[in-house]
Amino acid sequence: MGLGEKLFEEKGKVTDMNIESVHPVEGTKVNANFVSDIKGMGKFPSGKNMGSGVINQYPHGIWDASYRGVVTTQDGEQFFWWGHAKNRAGEGWNVRGIVLVTGFTNSQKLAWMNRLILAIETELNQTAQEFAATGFEWK
List, for residues 5-22, the tens digit of each pLDDT value.
999 999 999 999 999 999
In whole angstroms, how far apart are CA 27 and each of 18, 73, 112? 14, 36, 39
- Strands, DSSP E only, in the chain? 3-23, 27-40, 47-57, 62-73, 78-89, 94-104, 118-125, 130-138
Decide: 83 and 58 in contact? Cβ < 8 Å.
no
pLDDT, average across residues 110-126? 96
On the question of pLDDT at 106 being above 60, the answer is yes
Q: CATH no. for residue 21?
A: 2.40.160.20
Q: How many domains does the chain have?
A: 1
The pLDDT tens digits of the residues spanning 37-92 come to 999 999 999 999 999 999 999 999 999 999 999 999 999 999 999 999 999 998 77
Domain of residue 55, residue span = 3-138
Residue with more model confidence, 91 or 123: 123
In the prediction, which pLDDT does 1 show?
Answer: 57
